[in-house]
Amino acid sequence: MLDIDPSTIEITDRVERKLLPDGEYLVSLERAEDEANVVSREGATYSRVKLMVRVIEGDHSNQCLFHEPMYEHSMCGSDPKKDTAVRIGVEFLAKFHRATSCEGKITPQGLMTVGAVNLKVKTQKGRVKDTATGELYPDRNVVVDVFSIDRKSAASQTQHTPF
C-alpha cells in the first residue's frame, strides 16, 4: 500500500533526457495502451496507441523510447495533414505487426505477445514552441521504421512506402 510522507522527499530539477543516437536498435515492447477519443486543444478527437519499448542490446541497453502512432482523427477527410498522420500511424502499426509475425487483427494485447524487433530511430530537432519568444521544443527521438529481427524491413512486405 502506498504510504509516503511527502515532507521527506527532496524535489530535484528535471533530469535531462538522453537521446538515442540515430540508428537501428533491437527493442522489446514493454507497454502498449490504446488511448481512444483523446480531445485536442482545438476540440478535435483522435485515437492512438501509446507504445513504450526498451533497447535490449548494445551501448544503449535498457534505455526506453516512446512512440504514439495515431490511428483515427475526427478531422480526417477535411485536413490533409491529419490524413497523413493517421496513414503514417496505421502503416507503422501494420509494419510492427508484420515484423513481429503477429497474427489476426492489430490490438494492444496482440502487440504485447511479441518478441523483439528492430526500430530505426532519428533525432528530430526542436521546432518552435512559442513564436513570440522563439522558445523551441527540445530535440526528440522519432521512430522512422520498424524491422524484423533478421533486419528485413517490414515495409518490403507492404505496398506502401516507408514513412
Does some domain include residue 10? no
How many angstroms separate the CA atoms of 120 and 24, rounded? 4
Give the DSSP per-residue string, 30-72.
EEEEEEEEEEPTTS-EEEEEEEEEEE-SSTTTT-EEEE--EEE
Does some domain include residue 118? yes
Beta-strand relationship, 64-67 and 128-130: unpaired
Whether residue 159 is predicted with pLDDT greater than 90 in this model: the reply is: no
**Confidence band of 20 (pLDDT split at 50, 70, 90):** very high
101 vs 123, higher pLDDT? 123
Whether residue 162 is predicted with pLDDT greater than 50 in this model: the reply is: no
Does some domain include residue 3? no
Does some domain include residue 12? no
- Cβ neighbors of 68 (< 8 A, separation 6 or more) are 35, 48, 49, 50, 51
Does some domain include residue 13? no
Query: Under a CB-based contact definition with an 8 Å cutoff, are residues 62 and 72 in contact?
Result: no
Q: What is the pLDDT of residue 151?
A: 59
Q: What is the pLDDT of residue 68?
A: 95
Neighbours of 90 (CB within 10 A): 16
pTM for the model: 0.76
Range of the domain at 54: 19-157
Q: What is the mean pLDDT of residues 107-119?
A: 84
Q: What is the mean pLDDT of residues 133-155?
A: 79
Q: What is the mean pLDDT of residues 84-89?
A: 96
Does some domain include residue 9? no
How many angstroms separate the CA atoms of 99 and 109, rounded? 16
Does some domain include residue 146? yes
Query: Under a CB-based contact definition with an 8 Å cutoff, are residues 46 and 67 in contact?
Result: no
Whether residue 136 is predicted with pLDDT greater than 80 in this model: the reply is: yes
Whether residue 154 is predicted with pLDDT greater than 50 in this model: the reply is: no
Does some domain include residue 81? yes
Side chain identity, residue 57: E
* Count of domains forming the chain: 1
How many angstroms separate the CA atoms of 143 and 95, rounded? 12
Q: What is the pLDDT of residue 17?
A: 67
